[in-house]
Amino acid sequence: MSIDFSGRRVVVCGGSRGIGRSIALGFAAGGADVSICARGAGPLESTRAELAAHGHVAHAAACDLAQADSIAAYIAAAATALGGIDILVNNASGFGMTDDEAGWGASFAVDVMAVVRASQAALPHLEKGRQPSIVSVSSISAMRPSTRSAPYGAVKAAVIHYTTSQAAMLARRGIRVNCVAPGSIEFPGGSWEKRRQEGSPIYDNVLKSIPFDRLGTPEEVADVVLFLASPMARWVTGQTVVVDGGQLLFS
């Protein structure tokens, strides 16, 4: 997908691997200056080097997205490194799966509150930005009941609802807010690759539910994020785009 993001300044929260990495690399390939954060130092530096290879500003910093102070410090550092913020992508997840205090706590802290906190921290910069927008990553798990990952589905539904509220609150400030809801996405080191390698029946059941006989790729999600953040989607706000290859239709 070829979109010109020259001169745009992009922050990707949760941008060192998988979908976040592909989003960050997509913006960099389009000419943007990009900042990413994550917890793992190794993948973070590796992805930063990939971003820098495109010849634009590439900033990376460790950040615990479950902690308010860590988010505030990261957004401030990213804005300084980039000279401002035009686009914020909220991609991180705590992957809280179990229906207990630990599962719900991890889910709320990252999937919900990191979106809220990063958006609020970035808002003063976005208001001064060029064609500013926010794109958050939810999941098709938000759109159906789940006996396997109730907290994850519930908080991803909250992200979709908050997207509509943000869009309404920020429209008069010239900031668009949208969301993507990926289906099952496979990439090296990810949970779906692990399930496939282990011969998990969950993997086989999901694969059978997708009419194209494969799981999605991070790049296919990234392309939709890039579109929503681009001038081509300048009249789109408050929307959630499902990116699942028809998985919801048959599962």
User: Residue 146 burial by CB count (10 A; 0-12/13-18/19+): exposed, middle or buried?
Assistant: middle
136 is catalytic: no
Q: Which two tokens stand for residue 224?
A: 């939709």
35 is catalytic: no
* Catalytic entry in 152, 162, 184, 230: 152
62/77 Cα distance (integer angstroms): 11
Phi then psi for residue 184, to 5 deg, are -75, 120
203 is catalytic: no
139 is catalytic: yes
* Catalytic entry in 93, 107, 136, 138: 138
3-state secondary structure of 80: helix
Neighbours of 235 (CB within 10 A): 7
Cβ-proximal residues to 10 (8 Å cutoff; 6+ apart), any chain = 24, 27, 32, 33, 34, 35, 82, 85, 86, 87, 88, 89, 229
3-state secondary structure of 116: helix
* Catalytic entry in 22, 107, 156, 162: 156
Q: Which residues are catalytic?
A: 138-139, 152, 156
